[in-house]
Amino acid sequence: MSRRVLVLNGPNLGRLGSREPEKYGTTTFAELVGVCEKTGAELGFEVEVRQTDDEAELVGWLHEAADDRTPVVLNPAAFTHYSYALRDAIAQRTAPLIEIHLTNPATREEFRHTSVVAGVATGTIAGFGLDSYRLALRALTSLDS
């Protein structure tokens, strides 16, 4: 039986492929979903990928994960830098949660250098493009829930 993992994505990630391809690449969100599902299946996970531009919806998904003890791979996107609501939802986690980013925020604009969610995440993976997702899913295989 495979273990369920939620891969949650914040604002603007649904526009991958057309949004600033020089920073985020040309892979579409649909292709990202395929990569996550394939990698998850190889690792024995049932992966469900979601994306929202709505902070409240993302908080609700994190509550769902906490209630169900579901591991999470989270790309909070812009919410990374200022969403204390997201931070507080992550603090309620009952299973591993890995914060990920396609790019390395530390090499970008100064306002991106601070993550308000990193302190309550199990760990952070950033700067490896789509491989950030693959690496996070692999990391879940060795983490206790």
Instruction: Mark the binding-site residues, compressed into ranges.
Output: 75, 81, 88, 102-103, 112
Per the residue annotation, which of 63, 82, 84, 101 is the catalytic one?
101
How far from chain centre, in Å, is Cα 17? 17
Annotation marks residue 133 as catalytic: no
| Helix, coil or strand: residue 31 | helix
**Do 40 and 140 contact (CB within 8 A), yes or no?**
no
Buried b / exposed e across 48-87, counting CB within 10 Å, b at 16+?
A: bbebbbebeebbebbeebbeeebbbbbbbbebbbebeebb
Q: Which of 47, 58, 43 is nearest to 13 (CA)?
A: 58
CB 99 within 8 A of CB 74: yes
- Active site annotation includes 63: no
Q: Which residues sit in the known binding site for substrate? A: 75, 81, 88, 102-103, 112
Q: Please give the positions annotated as active site.
A: 24, 101
